[in-house]
Chains A and B, each alone.
Chain A
Amino acid sequence: GIQVEQSPPDLILQEGANSTLRCNFSDSVNNLQWFHQNPWGQLINLFYIPSGTKQNGRLSATTVATERYSLLYISSSQTTDSGVYFCAANYGGSQGNLIFGKGTKLSVKP
């Protein structure tokens, strides 16, 4: 079946460090989104990025659709970046019908 795989599953950083999170998907996608879930469960959309590169402050994302992967870059990490990062892909049907990966749990230490 369709799969969305994220790596690494867990990541511990010192404040100020940079990191790269990876998302591999098993088939061509209609859209791909990155989300951050804070420790209280709130999911926030970070990027809608079916292809190309986008930047938003210290975060940026790149999706290479032809090679079926997406990367999320976090620069100068802060303790508030802690939480779980999910990528989710749409393969058809409603655009909001997303297949989620298992997430990367990020802990940023002061």
Chain B
Amino acid sequence: ETGVTQTPRHLVMGMTNKKSLKCEQHLGHNAMYWYKQSAKKPLELMFVYNFKEQTENNSVPSRFSPECPNSSHLFLHLHTLQPEDSALYLCASSREGAGGSGANVLTFGAGSRLTVL
């Protein structure tokens, strides 16, 4: 248990479905991230939130819609996905901007494995 919890761990959805991935961190961090890990590509950043404000969007298609209601929770809303969106979606958090030991170190959740049929 890393202190970052993702649900669901596995999700199968059709291309016309709407679903959401949830991430919760219990580490008191101020920054949260969505990363995507596809079978044939390196991990790639999707979104960054700092104190619940989106600070980075790595040119992600609009069928992925993030939501960060507070510094502890992060959602990824999914709609009209394509089969090529099947991947492991990883949430991470960090204590960013402050000094000291452990600052800026990313802590990842266990991931949500998404299959789009």
- A residues with CB within 8 A of B: 4, 31, 33, 35, 40-45, 48, 86, 88, 90, 93-103
A98, B50: Cβ atoms under 8 Å?
A: no
Rounded to whole angstroms, the CA-CA distance of A50 and B25 in the bound complex is 25
Interface string of B44-77 (1 = CB under 8 A from A): 1100101000011000000000000000000000
Contact A98 B107 (CB under 8 A): no
Q: When chains A and B are docked, how far (Å) is the Cα of A45 from the Cα of B104?
A: 11
10 tightest A-B contacts by CB? A95-B104, A43-B108, A100-B43, A100-B42, A94-B48, A48-B105, A41-B111, A96-B94, A42-B110, A102-B42
Given A33-B106, A42-B111, residue A96 in contact with residue B31 (CB < 8 A)? yes
Interface residues of B in 21-35 (CB under 8 A from A): 31, 33
Is B81 in the interface zone, CB < 8 Å from A?
no
Name 28 A/B residue pairs within 8 A (Cβ), A-sorted. A31-B104, A33-B105, A35-B108, A41-B37, A41-B111, A42-B108, A42-B110, A43-B90, A44-B2, A45-B106, A48-B105, A86-B42, A86-B43, A88-B43, A90-B104, A94-B48, A94-B55, A95-B31, A95-B94, A95-B96, A95-B97, A96-B94, A96-B96, A97-B45, A97-B56, A98-B45, A98-B106, A103-B42
Residues of B within 8 A of A (CB): 2, 31, 33, 37, 42-45, 48, 50, 55-56, 88, 90, 92, 94, 96-97, 102-108, 110-111, 113
